[in-house]
Amino acid sequence: MLCRICKNKSLYEFCSLGLQPLANSFIKKEDLSKKEKVFPLELCLCKKCGMVQLNDVVPAKLMFRNYLYIPSASKTRIEHFNELASTIKDLLALTKKDLAVDIGSNDGSLLEVYVQLGIKILGVDPSVNLAKVAELKGIPTINDYFTRKTATKIVKKYGKAKAITATNVFAHVDNIHEFVKGIEILLADNGAFVIEFPYLVDFIENCEFDTIYHEHLSYFGVRALVKLFEKTSLEIFSIQRMKLDGGSLRVFVQKKKKNSKLYPEVESLIKLELEHKLDTLDPYKTFAKLVKERRDTFLRLLSELKKKKKKIVGYGAPAKGNTFLNYCRITPKDIWYIVDSTPYKQGLFLPGTHIPIYHENKIFSDVPDYIIILAWNFADEIMKKNVDLRKKGVGFILPHEDFKIK
Ligand code: DWN
C-alpha cells in the first residue's frame, strides 16, 4: 500500500481491528443467513508526511452507491449545516448569482440551507438512492463521484463555483489528488473550498477508534494536508477547530496568492501536532494499547450487567457503533436491540452483530435498564430527548467517557 498523499511505500501499521463488515451495510431480515463480506480494518502511519490511513481500500461502489446514512437524522448536524452555510455566505459575500457546490451532498441537507439564503446550488453524490431524495426536494444533484471530469462538466454547464464544500467526504476519497485537481478546475478565482473532517489530534488523544471504518480511508492532520496542496494552485488560508464528531477541523482553501507562505493558523496546528509527538511512533503505539483497554473495560461492564440480568439497548446505529460492536464481538444476547431516528435503518439489522434496529419510540414502551449511546458524538441531544427515561432510573452508558454511566 502506498501513502495516499506522498506515495511513500513503507507505511507503519499500528492498529488492527480485524476483519469487519462494511459499517453502513445494514441487513434485511431475509438476508441474515447470507454470508457477509468482511474486509481488513488496519490503520497505518506514513512516517514521511504524517498521513494516517487504512491499509486496504474497499471499492467505493460497495459502500456508497446505496447509502443509508443521512445527516438530517441528527438535529445537531443540521444546526451545524445552518452555521456552516451562513459562515460561507458571509465570508464570500455570496449573492444569488454565485454557485455553491456541495460534494458528497447526500440528501441535500446542506444545500437546502443555501436555497433559503437565495444562493444557486448544485450537489454531487454517488449514492443513487440519496441523489433521488435530493432531486425530489428540488436539489439538482450530479449522481457521480467528484473528479476532474465531473468538475469540467459542471463548469461547462453552470460556470465556476464561488463556494465548494466537502463535509465528511474528503477522508473518504481514495484518489485524493484527482479530487483536488477537480477543485482546481471548479473553484472560482475569488472562491473558497471548505472541507470538514475529524481531526487526527482529537482522534488519537481521545482514542476514537470506533470512527475507524472502511469509508474513512484517511485520518487527516494538518501536516499531511499541507503536503497534499503543496504541488497545486491551492493553499489553506484558515482553519477552525470544532467539537463536532469528537473533534473536527473546518479548513478553508483558496487559489494560491503570490509567494504565499503558511498562514498562522496552519502553522499553529502543525506546532500542536508536533507537541503531541505525532511525528513519532509513541502516540500511535499508545493508541493501539488504549483500544484494547477500552474494549476490556466495556466487556467487564457488560458482563457485570449481564450477571445482574440487566436489559441493555443501543442508542443510534452509527457507522462507528458497528466498528465498536463488531470489534467487541457483541451479539443480540448482549444488546437487546438498537433504536435509531433514520427511517432507512429502522427494521434492518446491524452488519456483523445482526442486532435489530427499531424506531426511537420503542424504548419508551420497553424502558430498558441501560442504554449505551453508540452515537456518542450526539450524546447531549440524545440525553435531552430522553430525560423521562433517566427519571425512571434508566442508566445511560457513555463510550466517549470511558463507559461512565449517567
Ligand atoms: O463520515 C461520516 C459521518 C459524518 O456520518 C460518514 N462516513 C458516516 C456517518 O458516520 P456515523 O453513522 O457514525 O454518523 P453519525 O451522524 O454520528 O450517526 C448518528 C446516528 O445516530 C444516525 O444513524 C442517527 C442516529 N441518531 C438517533 O438515532 N437519534 C442521532 C441522534 C442525534 C438522535 O437523536
Run means of pLDDT, 10 residues per run, the chain, 406 residues: 92 97 98 98 96 97 95 96 97 96 98 93 98 96 98 98 98 97 98 98 98 98 97 96 98 88 95 98 98 98 97 98 98 97 97 98 94 98 96 96 95
- Is there an atom of ligand 1 within 6 Å of 173 CB? no
Q: From CA 311, how far away is CA 288, in angstroms rounded?
A: 31
Whether 210 is in the pocket of ligand 1, judged by its Cβ within 6 Å, is no
Determine whether the shortest distance from the Cβ of 334 to ligand 1 is under 6 A.
no
pLDDT for position 155: 98
Per-residue b or e along 351-390, where b marks 16 or more CB atoms closer than 10 Å to that residue's CB: bbbebbbbebebbeeeebebbbbbbbbbbebbbeebeebe
Question: What are the angstrom distances between the C-alpha of 247 and each of 243, 271, 384?
Answer: 4, 17, 21
Amino acid (1-letter code) at residue 266: V
Residue recorded with cell 434485511? 28
Ligand 1 atom nearest the C-alpha of 73 is 24
Are the C-beta atoms of residues 357 and 339 closer than 8 Å to each other? yes
- Indicate which residue's Cα is closest to atom 28 of ligand 1: 340
Which pTM does this prediction carry? 0.97
C-alpha cell at 259: 509567494
Alpha carbon distance, N-terminus to C-terminus of the chain: 43
Question: CA–CA separation, 71 vs 76, rounded Å?
Answer: 9
The alpha carbon of 75 and the centre of ligand 1 are apart by a number of angstroms equal to 10
pLDDT at 260: 72
Read off the C-alpha cell for 394.
434508566
Taking the CA of residue 197 as reference, the ligand 1 atom at the shortest distance is 1
Q: How far is the CA of 46 from the centre of ligand 1 (A)?
A: 29
Grid coordinates of 145: 463521484
Is the C-beta atom of 317 inside 6 A of ligand 1? yes
Whether 318 lines ligand 1, by a CB cut-off of 6 Å, is yes
3-state class (DSSP) for residue 188: strand
The CB of 341 under 6 Å from ligand 1? The reply is yes
Judge whether 248 and 216 are in contact, CB under 8 Å: no
According to DSSP H, which parts of 117-206 are helical? 128-136, 148-158, 176-186, 200-205
What single-letter amino acid sits at 158?
A: Y
Nearest CA to ligand 1 atom 16: 71
- Cβ–Cβ contacts within 10 Å for residue 83, how many? 12
Cell 467487564, located at residue: 300
Position in ligand 1 atom list of the atom nearest CA 171: 1
The answer to whether 253 and 236 have CB atoms below 8 angstroms apart is: yes
Give the Å distance between the CA of 169 and the centre of ligand 1.
Answer: 14
